[in-house]
Structure 1
């Protein structure tokens, strides 16, 4: 089977729709219509860290940045 990649379809009529896609009856181009943002039923929870957890996260981030800087410096 050989498939052609089409960026757009100029046909305005003769489309059939089913299960999240629209297909042109003339050239067979498919347009996917089922895309939507994922919405949760409740609001997201805010994450709050204790002071020791914040300190540990800051130290870990600083270590990762330093390691990346060393790696970059060694490559140049």
Structure 2
């Protein structure tokens, strides 16, 4: 911010000197808290209808999706087709 200091006042000229006001540095915020200690997350994008988005919010949003993914079984691996 700036503070104005009046240096001269007269009938013809009024002057001000702007000087920097030193403000204490702000503390750096740590950001979004981690879901688990040491776990890194990555953002993803999903396409859905507005109605589906509203329902997702009612179901619990990202926390609900993460729970569903964690509870789901891994899909069985498909056998490679045998070529001649």
TM-score (norm 2): 0.25
Q: Whose Rg is larger?
A: 2
Comparing both structures, which one devotes a greater share of its residues to helix?
Answer: 1
